Structures are given as structure tokens and as C-alpha cells.
Amino acid sequence: MIGVIYKREILDHLKSAKFLIGFCLTLAIAVAATVINVQDYGRRLQDYRAAQRDLPANKFDIQIFRPPEVLSVLVQGKDRTLGNKASVNYMNIPDRLTGYMSERSTPRPKSLSGFGSVDFAFLVRVVLSLLVIFLAYDAVAEEKQSGTLKLALANALPRSSLLIGKAAAGLTVVLGSLLAAAAVAVLIMMVHPAVDLSGADAARILSLVAASALYLTVFYMLSLLVSAAVKRPATALMVLLQLWIFLVVVYPNLGVSIAENFYKLPTDREMAEKKVAAFAPYGDELKKVQAAYFGGDRSQPTGMRYFELQSLRSRLWNDVDRELSLRLSGQLERARWISILSPAALFNRVVERYARTDIEEYDRFLASVERYWKTKYMDFQVLFYKDLPAYRKAATPPFEHPAEGTSEAWAATAPQIVVLALLALIFFAAASTAFLRKDVR
Amino acid sequence: MRTIIFREIREYIQSLQFVVLLLFSVVLFSANGIVFARKFQAENAAYSAAAAQFAPNTQYLFLTRQPSPLLFLAEGGDLDRPASYDMKAKGYISASAPRPRDYKLPDIPKLDWSFIVKTVFSLYVVLLGYAAVSGEREQGTLRLVLSNPVGRVRFLIGKYLAILAAAFIPLAVGCVISLGILGVSLPQILTWGLASRVLALLALSAAYLSLFAFLSLLVSSVMRRSSLALLCLLTAWVLFAVLIPDTSGILAEKFAKVQSDYDAAKSIGPMIEKEVWAKIGALQGRIDKGELKTEEAVKAEADKAFEDGQEKVRFFEKGYEDALAARASLARSLARVSPVALFQYAAEDLAGSGVDREEAFREDLRAYSREFDAYVLKKMGKLVGQSNWSFSTWVMLNGKEIEIRSPQAEAYRGGMSDFPRFVERAPRLADGVKGAAGDIAGLLLWNIVLAMLAFAAFLKADVR
């Protein structure tokens, strides 16, 4: 019996004008956004490769470049905005990445026109979730209004079967659209010469699509609930749109806004004072050594001490910088906690993680830079004072940034996935209850 | 006519959309007042502290931008721009600290009035108006209404005015709340100048929301089913509010032929190599040939090479920044296809924020930089262009090792009571209106076209 309902419902959906409009819009956005983003990725990758090849480097001042992330084509996240270069020398452990132009120009203007960007994640978060609402709002309410609900249930058809059949059919149509959009986007990516997808990338794309499916399921179940609870389809649609505006537009932004304004961060001045205080015990010695060094004392112990003191200063300053970085992570955490019940915020966090375009990936990269500085780079620089011929002969140690394993990303996103799944379950359970108790006359 | 309007308004006020809009309006405008009052207080405190510490100096200056109290109207990217600048002789101006500081948070739109109107209110105008015609037709009441001696034109005008009124009541409530909060925490900003800007922005909002009302009436008259009308309207809204403006930046990057960040960075290295290091490296050769005989001559040549080289680099950087600005302006032109962008840019002009304001500020900085240079030249007798890189090297002259270092600006020891002060021009509303005129005209054009289409569609509509 469920099978019959399932088929009938799917046919109904596919024939409807709203599905056609929504589906065409989805495909159009998927194609346009991916084509634009993949070209942008190609340009950034070209720059990165050229930078690694051409930009002058010496053994003392080492330039580390961050490659653009291939999955940023699908989920832009922070990838384009946070810079791509770190200058490493013994006087400085970078706490932020800059653009190729270093401090001379700001990384990349946050947005050129005062607006954001469109990608696959946007398509799912906004467009497809809206389409879900339009496909599902009349699932029960419409049949009730037109009187067919009574007739359908007059057959030997349990209410639960009807609801499950409807839900399964609606979800099939929605997830079918999602898969079509994802397939189109991935195809466009694969055709582009700059894109080279690895096995791990494929696993991440699949996870990304699965998370999208879960997110859309939450909205589908919510729509089903409202449709079962409300008498008229027009009312159901209005209620759902209000909920959508709240959950997708207002709530996530409000969370960030509160965290932005009510989370205490140290000021620039306090940071500067902390840095001065951290190095104060060595200040006099540095002045003395510096004076000796520039006074012409180029002996090995003086040079070595001068080097040691300067690198110690960068370590101490780095500790202060890290404190700020942790505070900023705390601020982000606060925003996330406030928005914990917003499917849109949860979804964003999960897909950015899968696409390696979230702030955690940026922090991981900076941690790699710091590790490089503290181990390989410093070991190498010490040679200059201990064994100059060996230093001259040795090649600059290579920088390494191990890629995050896919299983780690899964583990990290498990809580969000669980919350999303719980939301879907709760909405479905509530929808079933509402429908079972519904007066179908 | 009046009966229709009042009937419609009463109906809208009882609708769910209206209640939720009122609720959102209260929440968002309260948040707006609180957030911007705090931001302005914090920025203003930092500004006053910096201004109090300002000390005349002929080597370098630290300048802080005066925070604008009008950002709550339209922030226009202002809070993400550098708040302070370092200035040195020969037009060296650079941002002191990168912004935003809380870079880990997701980029969200700032909660200014223009965002609330641009996004939330336009959406609710659509939600209020989508069923204006099609809904009545579905219920069969359209026929009944029009069987009374009510002209179709009047009917539609009544609907239109009622939609606008239903959107404007929550807007007015919200604005009063926001102004109330700001007025309590920052009484100094409540001036007639602010009042005129608020009124101008409300008029602009009316023109903007009105076009969405016409659009809703148009689609509602054309479509037979309300739900389909709503879907089409939401599609149009996503297109105007998100897709067009959000792709314009990335499209401009494609069309404006600007060097990439990397290419620009790449050309600077060789430039410094050729203009500075090559010339300084050649000094020893010129000494050996006998071209440079005294220590002063050698140092003067090194200084000249260093300063000329820097001048070239600075010129190049200026050109690059101009190209970036031109690209940003192209992005804005592309975005203007959408009325949402027209509204946004006009609102920024009226609030005295946005790129025009930034450009005006940079002009002020450049003018002050010239004053500063003239002052330094008067006191010190010479201008030394300083940069953030330096060098020191040795050459042999007449068997003696002499050190050459990058030139350093020197501090003037005497009194500097006549030191020029940096004064920013305050943004004037008249300039804002002038800047916004094109965008406002665009909004009016949208209104006219959509109104004509809506009336044409409704007059020809089959009301059965």
C-alpha cells in the first residue's frame, strides 16, 4: 500500500509547476555558481603555484604559501578571505596569514561589492530548503482542504502508512534534486583542468552531500509537522516561511551578532602591553647585545646570543598572540552555542569542515607554521652560528602541512550531525502524532 | 476607496505575517540600537584616547579615523576598514592594524537599518502582497468585491497602499525603538542633521518597499494560484537580494583586468632589486672609477637610490590600489542590476558611509600628508621618505670601510606649537543625496515600470 501512495505522490510532485520552477532554479544556480567558483579557484591555484615557483626566498626569511582548497568551489567558507602567505623568520612567528602583498595591502577585500558569495552550500541552505517547504507544506493540509484525505483514509489504509508514504515520496523528490545539483556541480569541477580530486576529496564530497540531505530532511519533517498540525494549506505555508526566515536568516545571524558584541576581547593596546611585559626581563640584555653586535662585535657567542634573544622574543610574543587566537575561538564557540538549534548554522559548520574551508583548518595551518618554526626552521638557523659551512651546504627544510584525515572530520562533526538527526526525528515524531490525532473530516 | 484601504489594513494587521514582522522588527531594531550604541562608544573612546595622546612628530604620525555615529543607518563596510593609519613623509600612509579583529566569526551582514529594510522588510512585503489578487480570486471574493461600484484601478491602489501601510507600521515602531535606545545611551548624536538623514532613509525605504509591493501585485495578478505566485516572488527575491549582488564581486574580478594579488607582489621584488640594490651595489664600482670621491657623496648617492626606489614602489602600489578600487566600483555597477543593490548603495550615501566616505577620508589623509611634508621640510630642511624595510652595508673608500645605512627621518627638537592638525571633513547630507541620486532614480524607474505592468496585468486579468 505504501508503494502505491509513494508512486502517486512522486508523480504528483514531478508534474507540479512548483517543482519544475524550483528544480530549474536549483540547476541554474548549481551550474552558474560552480562555473564561476571553479574559475576563481583555477586563478587562485595558478597564483599559488607561481608563488611557490617564483617568489624570491632566502634561507633566513622563508615564505610559506597556503594552497587554495579545491572544495572551496562547493563551500567557499573562509578560504578566499583569510590570506595565503606566512613570512617566517627568527624574529617573527606569524599569527595570521596575509595576502601575497604582505602587510602592504589587506588580504583580500572581504567582499568587493558589500555582499557575500554564492556556492553549493548556499544553494542547499537557502534555495533547496525553500523548495522543500513548497513541496511539503500541502502534504496533509491540501488533501484535508480538498476533502481527499477523508476519501484516502476511507480505504483500508493505516494513517501511519499514508504519512510514511508521503514523507518517503517527498524526500525522494527533494533528495533527487539535491543529487542532481551535486552531480552537475561535481561534473563541472571534474571537467575543469585545474581541479584534481583525490579519493579523500571524493569521500568529503559524499559526506557533504549526505549532510545536505540530512539538513533538507530536517526541513521536510518540519514542513510535514506544520502541514499536519494546521488546518489550511495557505496557513501552513505562511507558518513555515516565518519559521524558515527565523531559522535561516535571523537566528544564526543573531547568534554571531551577540558573540561579536558581548564577548570581551583584549584591545590592541592591551595586547601590545602584554607583549612588552612578556619580554621585559630580557629587554636590557637584548639592548646590550644589540649594541655590542652593531658596535662591531661579530664573535660567535655574541651573534648566537643576539639570535637567541630575538627568537626568544618571537616565542614569547607568539604566546601572547595565541592567547588572543584562543579568545577568538572562544568567541566563535559562543556564537555556535547560541545558534545550536539553528539547522542552518549546524549545516554550515559541518559542510565547511568537510570542505576544509572552516576556521579550524586555518588554525591547523597556522599551527603547522608554528611547529615548523619551532622545530625544523630553528634547528636550521642555529646551524648558521654553530656550523656555517654546513648551513651554507644545507637546503632550506621543507614546510609540511599534513592533511586532516576524513575520519577526523567525521568525528569533529558528529555532534552537529547528531543534533540535526535528532531535530529530524523529533519533527517526524511530532508530525506522526499530530497526524494520528488529526480530525480528517 | 478609503473603505478598501481600511478593510485591507485591518485584514493585514490580523495576519500572521504582520505579527511576526512586528516581532522581528522589535527584536532586530532593538539589537541594532544596542549593538551600534556599544560599537560607537567603544570606537569613540579609542578615538578620544588616541587624540589625547597625539604628539607632534616629524618622523611619523599615528592618525585615528573619527568614528561615525551614523553607522546604525547603513554601516557600508565601515567597521571592517582600518581605524588608524601610520603616516610618514612623502605620502607614506598605511593601515596600522588589520581588520576585522574577530576574523574567526562567520561573515554576517551588519545589523544596520539598511540591512533590516533591505532583507527582512522586502521579504515581508512580498509575504503580505503575494495573495492580494490571487488569494481573493481563489476564495471567490474578488468577483464579489468588483461587482460593487469599485473600479479596478482603485481596488489595486487600495491594495497597494494597504500593503505599504502594513509594512510601515512595524518599520516605524522599530525605528522609534532603535532611536530611543541610541538616544538614551548617546544623547549627543540626536541632532537635526540626524533627523534629516533618518527621514531621507525612510523615504528611500518607502520607494524601495513600494517596488516590491508592485512586484507582488503584478505576480499575484498574473498567477492563478497564490502558492505559485509566492514561489515566483521568492525566486525573484532570492535573485535580487542574493544572487545578483553576491556574484557581482566575483564577476568583476573576472572582467576587470587587474593584476592578481600575487602578480602585483611579484613585480615589486625585481623593482626593488633593479631600482635600489643594483644601484647601491654599483657604488663600490663607481668609487673605484673615481666618480665618487667623498664619504658625503657616497652616502648621498645611496640615499638617493633608496628614496627613488621607494618612490617607484609606492607609485606602483598606488596604481595597484587604484585598480582594485576601480574593480570594486565595477562590481558595484554590475550589482546595480538588482534594486536591492540600488537601495543599499543609496542608503550608504545617505548615511555618509560606504566607499564614497572612504574615498573622501583618503583624500583628507592625502591633503594632510602634503601639509605634514611642508611642515617637515620647513623645520628640518629636507624630507626623508621612510619605509618599512631598511638596509645597511659597507663600502671601501680610500682604504677606509664606511657604513651606508638606509636614511632615517629625524625628530625636530624645537617647539612644534604650529604643528598642523589633522581634521576630517564631516560627511554632508547634500553630498550624500547627490551621490545617491542615480540610485534613487533607478529605484523610481523600477517602481514606474512595475506599477505599469501590475496595473496592465490586473486590468486585463480574468477575475472569475
Q: Which residues of A touch B388 (CB under 8 A)?
A: 103
Alpha carbon separation from A60 to A87, A392, B165, B262 (Å, rounded): 10, 11, 68, 21
Residue with cell 570542505: A355
Contact call for residues A332 and A78 (beta carbons, < 8 A) = no
- CB proximity list for A240: less than 8 A, separation 6 or greater: A133, A137, A222, A223, A226
Cα gap A369→A325, rounded to integer Å: 15
Query: Residues A77, A352: contact at Cβ < 8 Å?
Result: yes
User: What was the ipTM of the complex prediction?
Assistant: 0.85
What is the value of pTM for the model shown?
A: 0.89
Instruction: At A39, list the grid cell.
Output: 574559475
Instruction: Select from B114, B50, B123 the least CA-distant residue to B84.
Output: B50
Mutate to test the interface with B, among A115, A129, A264 (most CBs of B within 10 A): A115
From chain B, pick out residues whose CB is under 8 angstroms from the CB of A109: 324, 328
Largest CA distance in chain B: 111
CB contact under 8 A, B120 and A250: yes
Interface touch A109/B324, C-beta < 8 Å: yes
Beta-carbon contacts of A432 under 8 Å, excluding residues fewer than 6 positions away, are: A160, A163
Q: Which residues of B touch A250 (CB under 8 A)?
A: 24, 27-28, 120
Half-sphere exposure of A205 (CA within 13 A, CB side): 24
Strand partners for B85: B63, B95
Does residue A191 contact residue A41 with C-beta atoms inside 8 Å?
no
Each residue's pLDDT, cut to its tens digit, for chain B (464 residues) gives 778 788 888 888 888 889 999 999 999 999 999 999 999 998 899 899 888 888 888 888 888 888 999 999 998 888 888 888 888 888 888 887 766 778 888 888 888 999 999 999 999 999 999 988 888 888 878 777 777 777 888 888 989 999 999 999 999 999 999 999 999 999 988 889 899 999 999 999 999 999 999 999 999 999 888 888 998 999 999 899 888 888 888 788 778 878 877 888 888 878 888 888 888 888 888 888 888 888 888 888 888 888 888 888 888 888 888 888 888 888 889 999 999 999 999 999 999 888 888 888 889 999 999 999 999 988 888 888 766 667 777 888 887 888 888 788 888 888 888 888 888 888 888 888 998 999 999 999 999 999 999 999 998 887 77
**Residues paired with residue B381 on neighbouring β-strands, in sequence order:** none
- Flag if A335 and B105 touch (Cβ within 8 Å): yes
CB contact under 8 A, A21 and B231: yes
Cell triple for B199: 527621514
Residues of chain B with Cβ-Cβ distance to A246 below 8 Å are: 24
State the DSSP string of A150-208. Answer: HHHHHSS--HHHHHHHHHHHHHHHHHHHHHHHHHHHHHHHHHSTT----HHHHHHHHHH
CB B32 within 8 A of CB A257: no
Report residue B401: phi and psi, to 5°: -85, 120
